Amino acid sequence: MDLALCRSALYEALVLGFLPPTAEAISRLASSEGVAALADAAAELDKSWNTNLSQLIHRLTVSPILPSPDALGVSFRRLFGHTARGLVPPYETEYGEDSLFQPLQEMSDLAGFCHAFGLGLRPSEHERIDHIACECEFMLFLARKEAYALVMDDATMLEETRRATRLFLKDHLGRWAPAFGRRLAREDRGRFYGALGELLATFVTSECARVGVPAGPELLHLRSTSLSDAPMACGSGDELLQIESPMVAESHPE
């Protein structure tokens, strides 16, 4: 159970980090106290996985003075832009080989994962389901569900949750997050989002190794902008899935 909860703590941090910055998120991710708490969780994973996640988390504290939401927001907009195609697009379907139908199939598959667990996007928030924060939040949900299944000694729930985790990493987050994270690290080197990107890439790659699926490459081409105009976008928003975190959404009955 402990490792599942440690994993959920890192996914929650990634969700907060990839949403527009707020004072609360900055305090939890970039203050010395917040970083120390998160690094403690990462240290438990480092012991089991032989990784350096706790070291990467300490790099989030890039300055002894916490940045304001407005100051960090400048970097956020510079990197991610106001549309899907910013400097470092935070959407899965922006990456891969050019195809008219593949992005739509990927979006449909993402929706299927969420609906299978009674989750969905709140239409009023106008966010795409392939946003990096949304995909990390789904993994947060699965990690907490796994921890619950272990506590309840529910073998069926545990098997179902671990199977979904493996498939989601193989088909979605593990396919593109390493490349997205490395790209972000290059574009924001030595700064907060660069450190967050490095953490994402390393953590997701380690997750893939843990469940026995190949992680995606460190470099993925962006799809043609002419093809990315397919009608799959819902606009932009700040809140994603309804899970135990600051997000708000609808839950769909099975």
Q: Given pLDDT bands bounded at 50, 70 and 90, which one contains residue 98? A: confident
pTM: 0.87
Residue 254 lies in a domain: no
CATH of the domain at 8: 1.10.3480.10
Tens of pLDDT, residue by residue over 240-250, are 454 433 343 33
Using CA atoms, how far apart are residues 229 and 76, in angstroms rounded to an integer? 23
SS3 131: strand
Please state the domain count of the chain.
Answer: 1
Residue 202 lies in a domain: yes
Tens of pLDDT, residue by residue over 194-237, are 999 999 999 999 999 999 999 999 999 998 876 544 433 333 33
Residue 148 lies in a domain: yes
Long-range contacts of 75-84 (CB under 8 A, 24+ apart): 75/188, 75/191, 75/192, 75/193, 76/20, 76/21, 76/193, 79/184, 79/187, 79/188, 79/193, 82/236, 83/236, 84/128, 84/228, 84/233
Residue 13 lies in a domain: yes
Residue 195 lies in a domain: yes
Domain ranges, residue 117: 2-211
**pLDDT, mean of residues 166-194:** 98
Residue 22 lies in a domain: yes
Residue 222 lies in a domain: no
Residue 151 lies in a domain: yes
| 189 Cβ neighbours under 8 A, 6+ residues apart | none
